[in-house]
Structure 1
């Protein structure tokens, strides 16, 4: 390049080439870098070889003497020394741990539980009798059991019973009623019995479930002067006539209460 070099002279050319002058000729080779560290920094601007004045760890440049933790955990401590990264992890004791915590550096496995000859993992829930009445859980090598809560029953003790496959007692079904009991007069009517409770127009029946159903009879008056018979709901038009408070039989004549010159007769239709 127009420059004169002494025989045996050495110099660097762009592109990281090393050249020498030998017997009037220029010989160039790629620069050979000797890197004496495990985590060198990239070559500086204008340089060809990485440098061990710092460390490049997981893509992050660290200064000489820098102490840091790797990205996969905060329990390992690393230090950058002369381009080398040395890391130290905590020593964890072997075996299980009673109360594992996600923030602990040491990974441990909770203790298992042994119950009635069977082994359960930590956190396992099981029913020892298989009926679901008792639920147990394994916690750090200890088994804790609880019973299913039962509702409060409103029946006497002698009416309670435990059905097969159930955890809690229940009240027995009441016996089917055989009749209707009326508290006001103490009379019991069998199922299907009809009676009148005092009003001849009201009729009641004792139903199969022990309840009483009543309904009233609607009367249709077909004559203007019917006879009202005691104990009978509807007035009777076939037995005679009622006029001004008096009862007359069929075809019976009688003077009018309003006009003594008039004569009336009871006619049954």
Structure 2
């Protein structure tokens, strides 16, 4: 269901970039005051946003959040084309050769000459020839349709070349080595593409093969039939030289260039000698071959390799140190929604990694699914919370207790099943594994770990499923992205679409949480503990008459102020009021506070003193507390 918000925010369009003639290009983002929302995970249509189809708006953490459709990077393009009516993204001008269109940043080879390579960059075609590099003594001749001979084995100067990552040498960063699944290594060098931007906008980063254009600009059409390259205009049919390595021509408004590829050098760039009137530099005269190398005060024999760090390895080749390093793919920061930047220890390249899906249960049960849909379901039976409905690798079931109330329920126990292991989590932090009570920490080697935090029990499994339980009623289930689209139960299917989370056991999409929740009932009916409700009992009227607002208002106070800009407390405040309606212990407000604090922590916001300020105890406190009347806080 899609809803329209009449007053979302006062839109201020931010300029993505400005062309040289001062005209504004379409907005790339929206800034302004944030509007709150009530239905977590719900889609929204916002009339005030231009090009509405280009934005996806939904309710997340109690705020309307709009994200523009992700577009390819336009950095470095000075021939930007306006989006067509059916498009949301700017495009960089492509190239046409022999009637075939090629997109910007693409390459292709001559059909009858695999060493002849073409590239298109911002509307300019660059032709060059590959220079092969064979870092082995006995290369295998090139196969039909291939340019370069191959080496058996996937190491370059001591650096392993994996199938998903290219490697370059530090002596010549324009050399690219790739390894296929059969363990065959190919290394080659090609000329850099001709750039279409003013010279003042060209930068050459240290250690990079090719210079690049900095910034971007709209395409300025040259006179009919003419060509534009950088700031120069060339008539159709005209030939010209950019430098000693590059000859270009203009034909039908398209610039085509032929650029010489310099050979692979054994010496670093700083030792190469530029010769007058020549395109390529050369190395000094060959020195005497030595049987060993010295690096950082240590001597290595000929052919010996060593690793400097996670990014760089070196080898001794006939008395010279040769090094290589992986080529990290470009990162479009910030990372996409529901992902984070990660730099794994021991690995060279950072990467954007999808975050685990988290399903939360708290209070008089309120559920937030893996995909972010928020709902309440007050069934007091046993239910399937989350399960792998594809591979059947795990299941998590919850038993809800009515606590002697007529309409409410709270999570009482959890049953986790992974293979032949069954973990039961109960009140007062009780833990059983395969029916036997265990002390924490507890471990089953390579399968299961049960640990404690300051306020919870954490069960971690080898398959990546994690369960956090506070011993009272707060529960979190975390699932890695490998389970995306494979799950079912009250926590939804984890497919990134909140709107289909109410899919029942038979695969039918429902609208009401009550029949949806009941469809996931498991076990015998004797597990249900709901007393029969009183006839004509007006619960809503009774709840409106209670004075629980001053307790729940703590969620909207300065105690949680550090998190209010990240997570709207309204949803948790309303849940708190519901929980207090039939609360048998008078401190059920703490369960919404716990859920709110955990959500804040997941977003990197610490609230270290909230328990002390609200007098909310942990499950560990209750486990060690002497028997007696329920604790009733008194707030001023």
TM-score range relative to shorter protein = under 0.3
**Would you tell me which structure has more helix in proportion to its own residues?**
2
* Greater RCO, CA 8 A, separation 6+: 2
Under a length normalisation based on structure 2, what TM-score does the superposition of the two structures give?
0.13
TM-score normalised according to structure 1 size = 0.27
